[in-house]
Amino acid sequence: MSSSPLNVAIIGMGTVGTGVAKILLNRVEQMTLRAGRPIHLKRAVVKDLARTRDVALAPGVLTDDIEAVINDSSIDVVIQLVGGINPAYEIMLRVLESGKDVITANKALLCEKGESLFQRARELGRCICFEAAVAGGVPLIETVTQAMSANQITSIEAILNGTSNYILTQMFSHNVSYEDAVQSAQQIGYAEADPAMDVDGTDAAQKLGILVQLALGIKVGLDQFLRQGIDSLSLADLQYASELGYTVKLLAVAKLRDGQLEMHAQPTLIRNDNPLAHVEDAYNKIALEGDAVGKVWLSGMGAGQMATASAVVANLIDVAVGRAAITFPRLDLWNPRRDIKIMPREEISRRYFLRLNVEDRPHALADITNVLGDHQISIASLVQHEAPEVDQSEDYPIVPLVIMTHRTTEGRFQAASRELDELACIRAPLVRMPVND
């Protein structure tokens, strides 16, 4: 065991940074044993020095001056936890160029700037570790890049956003509205004050993009595949899905089909006998299909302070013992390796769930089925609960109508949806979700 400590700095002492500091300070003997040397938290860079933090740092550790890290040649590795693209990109470049390795949890930065960051790290002989960027505490990056390296991964089906999964669980299990479930997630610390990136599907789509980059060697921009969030769903949608034998999850999918990549991240109906349907609260679950090993399942906490901090510290141990320095240049991460065509979204073939608010009047159902039929969409099942009788002189009541289609293409379904939007008998909103059979 080396007596020389590994000197560490954290840039960004938010929720995750505080969790990392807790592990390093409260488990000194364990960290020393597993790293083969002492790990010393030398600096923690923050915006506000006066802010109260839930961790007791030694005097002189806390600073608001990033130059105290950049210019300190004794610091070996920086845990960069600043979110977003700017100034996170510039910070990471400067850290690498100052001769330090980097650990990050910033999936947005890797999606947008991963190629240039990894190239620069290779040029400088440094490494970038990012296990915490996808699926919280689940060792997914290591599985894709190392444990399954004998395989061509052909399919990824995953619940990758713990916040959205928690919200959907709260809505259905506790019979609460979307708004109340979001508020609960914020109170616990799973959701930010502005939860947009979690609930609009962006976070899950970014993580899927990283996995596709690692598994298939291609970069797919967020604008190249279908992305939809849970923010348009209501409790009624989850209840209707349950009545039909399904559970709604924000599902990220990437599958090789005849040399093309089918890719989307959307709230999806999943059959109740599928293990993905039983993932609750902030847990993530991922099914990877390899051509040699078959299907591999991983599951664990996808949100929360300590789960994400666990993945960060695991990367820190990799750096400390020298594994990262060996594996990083050889894994050739983020270099384009294959030319795989993205399947046009119009050609994606699935079944669909459609919930309409319809005037309960003669010929309304015929108008709807005519539109679907004109686009060669066949109805598999239909649910309309009985509406109360009304006097013909009164306005027609609005009733929900739920349609499950047979398999059709995204192009046909979207064209039919646009026509349905224009029908006089239908009131907004129309809720549309794919079905994962």
CATH code of the region 140-301: 3.30.360.10
Domain ranges of the chain: 6-129+307-331, 140-301, 345-436
- DSSP type of residue 143: I
What pLDDT is attached to residue 242? Answer: 97
pTM, to two decimals? 0.94
Give me the architecture of the 6-129+307-331 domain, per CATH: 3-Layer(aba) Sandwich (3.40)
Do 144 and 215 contact (CB within 8 A), yes or no?
Answer: yes
**Catalytic site includes residue 113:** no
Tokens describing residue 166: 């928690």
What pLDDT is attached to residue 1? Answer: 59
What pLDDT is attached to residue 330? Answer: 82
The CATH homologous superfamily of the domain defined by 345-436: ACT domain (3.30.70.260)
What pLDDT is attached to residue 335? Answer: 73
Max intra-chain CA distance, the chain: 89
Tokens describing residue 106: 């910033």
Do 436 and 268 contact (CB within 8 A), yes or no?
Answer: yes
Residue 339 gets the label, from left (phi > 0), alpha (psi -120 to 50) or beta, of beta
DSSP string, 4-67: S-EEEEEE--SHHHHHHHHHHHH-HHHHHHHHTS-EEEEEEE-S-TTS--SS-PPTT-EES-TH
pLDDT tens, residue order, the chain (437 aa): 567 899 999 999 999 999 999 999 999 999 999 999 999 999 999 999 989 888 999 999 999 999 999 999 999 999 999 999 999 999 999 999 999 999 999 999 999 999 999 999 999 999 999 999 999 899 999 999 999 999 999 999 999 999 999 999 999 999 999 999 999 999 988 988 899 999 999 999 999 999 999 999 899 999 999 999 999 999 999 999 999 999 999 999 999 999 899 999 999 999 999 999 999 999 999 999 999 999 999 999 988 899 999 999 999 999 999 999 999 988 777 777 778 999 999 999 999 999 999 999 899 999 999 999 999 999 999 999 876 665 555 678 899 999 999 999 999 999 999 999 999 999 999 999 999 98
What are residue 414's phi and psi, to 5 degrees?
Answer: -65, -40
User: Which is catalytic among the residues 100, 107, 207, 285?
Assistant: 207
Residue length of the chain? 437
Q: What is the CA angle 45-50-51, rounded to 5?
A: 80
- The answer for residues whose C-beta is within 8 angstroms of residue 73's C-beta and 6 or more apart is 98, 99
